């Protein structure tokens, strides 16, 4: 078995719904903390956005479930192999 730290980064391709949810989350956060600047969604040349796993779960967790519309394309999450750690038991 392997472990993955929730502070590590993942990459996902957000659907249009996912982008809408991100914007709503950002807008609500800025209402609560109006002195902060918005953090625009950073989409790379291949269409992937980068998040720390805990941040991704915080924003999108409630939008995952059996039969829910997809917020990320094909339900695929990318991560670096070297972010996986071997567990000893």
HSE-up of 53 (CA within 13 Å, CB side)? 12
Classify the C-alpha dihedral 56-62-67-69 as positive or negative.
negative
Predicted pLDDT at 88:
80
Cβ proximity of 11 and 74 under 8 Å: no
> How high is the pLDDT of residue 57?
97
| Alpha carbons 15 and 70: distance in angstroms, whole number | 7
Q: Where are the domains of the chain?
A: 2-86
Walking along the chain (89 residues) 10 residues at a time, the average pLDDT comes out as: 95 98 94 89 96 96 96 95 88
Strand (E) or helix (H) holding 4: strand 2-4
3-class secondary structure for 52-84?
EHHHHHHHHHHHCCCCCCCCEHHHCCECCHHHE
Give the model's pLDDT for residue 55. 95
Residue 25: what pLDDT? 94
Give the pLDDT of residue 31.
Answer: 94
pLDDT on residue 56: 97
């Amino acid at each position: 078995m392997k472990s993955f730290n929730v502070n590590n980064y993942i990459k996902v391709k957000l659907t249009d719904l996912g982008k809408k949810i991100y914007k709503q989350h950002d807008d609500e956060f800025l209402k609560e903390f109006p002195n902060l600047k918005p953090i625009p969604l950073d989409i790379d040349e291949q269409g992937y956005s980068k998040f720390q796993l805990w941040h991704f779960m915080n924003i999108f967790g409630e939008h995952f479930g059996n039969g829910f519309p997809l917020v990320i394309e094909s339900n695929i999450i990318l991560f670096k192999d070297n972010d996986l750690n071997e567990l000893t038991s």
